[in-house]
């Protein structure tokens, strides 16, 4: 979940390049950050070259600057704390006893206590509470008899767990990167090389990348070299040309990426309607030929997947199973070589999705992924894939990636039902409606509602059918963006317990599309209103039970898209009303969950 960035090349401002790379990767972790560069000779004055200079800080990078010496090599890190508190001592990079080896790390060294005990017996002194610190000390041990790249390989092979390690040494002109489970990508520029935990960090410099595979070590010096973690044999790098634009990953005129990415949604939806006909036809054929279909996803993507089960049932008459990624291992006993597993993920790197997908693949299942990041682990492991095509998503809170997932599932469902044109037209209508929701008049209405709700402690959201996963997604947005306690329920479940939570003035958002669920969900709204709730209706038809009403077009199944956008906007402006420092970076969260 941490951000890693390294540079080696012809430019002397390695520290500045790394700092800017870390700022673009900060959504991966923002408890603390640090940079290490190799001190080098400058001008006529000789400096001590056999030295690493480290600068570390607690908190977000923000508009930070660094005062590090000129250098053409260095590594940096933004941390999401696992082992050890948020302190300067625990921030990365971490050093060995000599101060000559620096390491940044993403993952968890599961056997660090055992390794640390042995290293302490051998005289090593530790200064942090982290699991990571065993790594530079292990490398130090192996450098007594081996060259630096080989020492890193030997040290990495001692680690248990899913890890990505990047190391440099003041006795070397190389950066060494190794991975098993946690993502790393190398960038190839003009006389310079980059290493990062996410391609977004590299995009400003080059689109030519090499995605490091599990069981590989990348040696970055004058050129990139790949070797096997197992036997050290040389491997051929596979260079990929990214199709993202750098401008897509920049803030532009918006105050936050959260808001920028909300406003990008109409174009994302229109693009899917206009250009995904062939891809969805191929996926539909694959689904038709499968017996036993599973959606696997986490977080917002899991609500898209849950919505997919309704869409496949009602539109294309297909039965699809759904499991949260972290629970799928406990439900996979009946997977065989005829099963189709469809993981849905923005990053393609969530360990809670990757692990069960790989397990299903070993059992013979076909993997057909819906994801956003070209070259990610899921992208490489999938037998078939559809890219979301929504460009880089920098805010931790998912917006455009979620609506892209839903749009693809709607189009796929209609394609399966031999009604692809109807699905495309529906998405065009949804894009038009979302654009209308972003008008000044609509935004001002949302801002006023956010002001009214800013003092509330509890908020409830209900829906039925497709609006049930919509309600769950809305509550997630409210919780992670504005820190408001929100709960989502299927309308029919209220009388089975949750209605006990309603008291006078409790806000309750009611998703009420103009479909077979309308009368039932309005009845549920009346039940909670009778207990004193404030009812906020969202849908195409107003009703006297609603105290406030947010109108959408009547878009059949795609009505859930503007409903979702309303919840995104409310969450964003509620966060501002409640004084959240930066809605792009909610406390305790990171964009991609790469540790268990």
From the list 325, 481, 468, the residue with the least C-alpha distance to 399 is 481
Concatenating the DSSP letter of every residue in 187-244 gives EE-SSEEEEESSGGGTTTT-SEEEEPPTTEEEEESSSEEEEETTT--EE---EEE---
Please give, one letter per residue, the 3-state secondary structure of 496-543. HCHHHHCCCCCEEEEECCCCCCHHHHHHHHHHHHCCCCEEEEEECCCC
From the list 557, 528, 527, 555, the residue with the least C-alpha distance to 541 is 555
Bridge partner list, 186: 195, 210
Which listed residue (2, 170, 298, 390) is catalytic? 2
Please say if 2 is a catalytic residue: yes
From the list 125, 117, 59, 57, the residue with the least C-alpha distance to 92 is 57
Enumerate residues 6+ apart whose C-beta is below 8 A from 448: none
**Separation between Cα atoms, residue 138 and residue 152, nearest integer Å:** 8
Please say if 591 is a catalytic residue: yes
Q: Is 359 exposed, middle or buried (0-12, 13-18, 19+ CB in 10 A)?
A: middle
Enumerate residues 6+ apart whose C-beta is below 8 A from 321: 292, 293, 294, 295, 309, 331
**Separation between Cα atoms, residue 40 and residue 36, nearest integer Å:** 13
**Tokens 């979301």 label which residue?**
388
**Separation between Cα atoms, residue 217 and residue 225, nearest integer Å:** 8
Helix then strand then coil, % of the chain, to nearest 5: 40, 20, 40
Bridge partner list, 459: 486
**Separation between Cα atoms, residue 553 and residue 432, nearest integer Å:** 9
Residue 97 in contact with residue 125, Cβ under 8 Å?
yes
**Separation between Cα atoms, residue 231 and residue 254, nearest integer Å:** 50
From the list 176, 193, 195, the residue with the least C-alpha distance to 185 is 195
Residue 571 CA to chain centroid, in angstroms? Answer: 19
Residue 20 CA to chain centroid, in angstroms? Answer: 20
**Separation between Cα atoms, residue 193 and residue 206, nearest integer Å:** 9
Which listed residue (23, 260, 445, 591) is catalytic? 591
From the list 401, 13, 6, 394, the residue with the least C-alpha distance to 185 is 6
Enumerate residues 6+ apart whose C-beta is below 8 A from 110: 159, 160, 161
DSSP-based three-state secondary structure for 555: coil
Tokens at 534, concatenated? 């404030």
Q: Which residues are catalytic?
A: 2, 591
């Amino acid at each position: 979940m941490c951000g890693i960035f390294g540079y080696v090349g012809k430019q002397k401002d390695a520290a500045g390049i790394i700092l800017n790379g870390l700022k673009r990767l900060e959504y991966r972790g923002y408890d603390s950050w640090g940079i290490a560069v190799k001190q080098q000779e400058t001008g006529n004055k000789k400096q001590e070259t056999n030295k690493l200079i480290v600068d570390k800080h607690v908190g977000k990078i923000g508009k930070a600057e660094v005062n590090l010496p000129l250098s053409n090599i260095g590594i940096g890190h933004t941390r999401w704390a696992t082992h050890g508190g948020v302190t300067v001592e625990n921030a990365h990079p971490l050093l060995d006893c000599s101060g000559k080896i620096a390491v940044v790390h993403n993952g968890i060294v599961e056997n660090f206590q055992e390794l640390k005990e042995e290293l302490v017996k051998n005289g090593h002194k530790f200064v942090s509470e982290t699991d990571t610190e065993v790594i530079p000390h292990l490398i130090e041990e192996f450098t007594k008899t081996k060259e630096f790249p080989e020492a890193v390989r030997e040290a990495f092979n001692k680690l248990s767990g899913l890890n990505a390690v990047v190391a440099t040494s003041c006795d070397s002109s190389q950066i060494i990167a190794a991975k098993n489970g946690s993502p790393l990508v190398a960038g190839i520029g003009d006389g310079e090389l980059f290493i990062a935990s996410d391609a977004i960090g590299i995009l400003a410099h080059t689109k030519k990348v090499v995605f490091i595979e599990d069981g590989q070590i990348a040696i970055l010096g004058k050129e990139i070299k790949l070797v096997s973690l197992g036997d050290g044999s040389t491997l051929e790098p596979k260079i990929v040309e990214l199709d993202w634009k750098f401008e897509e990953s920049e803030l532009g005129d918006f105050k936050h990426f959260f808001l920028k990415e909300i406003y990008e949604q109409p174009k994302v939806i229109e693009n899917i309607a206009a250009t995904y006909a062939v891809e969805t036809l191929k996926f539909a054929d694959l689904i038709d030929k499968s017996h036993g279909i599973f959606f696997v996803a986490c977080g917002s993507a899991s609500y898209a997947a849950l919505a997919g089960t309704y869409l496949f049932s009602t539109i294309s008459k297909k039965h699809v199973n759904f499991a949260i990624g972290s629970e799928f291992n406990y439900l996979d006993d009946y997977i065989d070589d005829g099963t189709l597993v469809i993981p849905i993920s923005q990053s393609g790197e969530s360990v809670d999705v990757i692990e069960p997908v790989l397990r299903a693949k070993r059992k013979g299942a076909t993997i057909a992924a819906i994801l956003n990041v070209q070259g990610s682990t899921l992208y490489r492991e999938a037998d078939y894939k559809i890219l979301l095509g929504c460009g880089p998503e920098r805010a931790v809170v998912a917006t455009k990636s979620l609506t892209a997932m839903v749009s693809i599932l709607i189009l796929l469902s209609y394609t399966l039902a031999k009604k692809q044109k109807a699905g495309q037209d529906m998405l065009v209508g949804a894009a038009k409606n979302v654009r209308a929701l972003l008008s000044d008049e609509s935004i001002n209405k949302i801002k006023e509602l956010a002001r009214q709700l800013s003092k509330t402690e509890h908020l409830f959201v209900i829906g039925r059918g497709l609006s049930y996963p919509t309600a769950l997604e809305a509550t997630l947005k409210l919780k992670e963006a504005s820190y408001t306690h929100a709960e989502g329920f299927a309308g029919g479940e209220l009388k089975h317990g949750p209605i006990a939570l309603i008291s006078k003035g409790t806000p309750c958002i009611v998703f009420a599309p103009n479909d077979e669920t309308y009368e039932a969900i309005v009845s549920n709204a009346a039940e909670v209103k009778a207990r004193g709730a404030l009812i906020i209706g969202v849908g195409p038809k107003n009703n006297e039970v609603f105290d406030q009403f947010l109108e959408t077009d009547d878009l059949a199944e795609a009505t859930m898209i503007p409903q979702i956008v309303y919840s995104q906007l409310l969450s964003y402006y509620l966060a501002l009303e409640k004084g959240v420092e930066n809605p792009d970076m909610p406390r305790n969260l990171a964009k991609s969950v790469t540790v268990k």
